[in-house]
């Protein structure tokens, strides 16, 4: 499975043009499930790049099974996407 997470990650260590620290904004957790069973779970942090790309494999997925991926960031924003195995 390959997942591209669209997120403008900020580490909290960068300064803007005025010299002010840009607050940290990063993905905390990402969870993938297949037909309701967790197949991948990770805790991330500010060291992960902007728009991270993840790749993992899992067993017992069948054609037509629904896979969902959910992430939550440190500002409690979240997103969930779903697709069927082809």
Q: What is the pLDDT of residues 28-77, one digit of tens each?
A: 999 999 999 999 999 999 999 999 999 999 999 999 999 999 999 999 99
Q: List, in order, residues 6 or more apart from 16 with CB less than 8 Å away.
A: 22
- Which band of pLDDT confidence, cut at 50, 70 and 90, is reported for residue 19? very high
pLDDT, average across residues 13-32: 97
Domain count, the chain: 1
pLDDT of 74: 98
Residue 50 structural domain? 2-84
pLDDT of 53: 96
Q: List, in order, residues 6 or more apart from 53 with CB less than 8 Å away.
A: 2, 3, 4, 5
CATH of the domain at 38: 2.60.40.10
pLDDT of 46: 95
pLDDT of 28: 98
Q: For tokens 């499975």, name the residue.
A: 1
């Amino acid at each position: 499975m390959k997942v591209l997470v669209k997120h403008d990650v900020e580490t909290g260590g960068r300064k803007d043009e005025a010299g002010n620290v840009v607050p940290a904004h990063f993905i905390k957790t990402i969870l993938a499930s297949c037909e309701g069973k967790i197949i991948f779970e990770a805790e991330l942090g500010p060291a992960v790049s902007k728009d991270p790309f993840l790749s993992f494999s899992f067993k017992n997925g069948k054609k037509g099974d629904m896979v969902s991926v959910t992430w939550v960031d440190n500002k409690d924003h979240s997103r969930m996407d779903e697709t069927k195995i082809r």
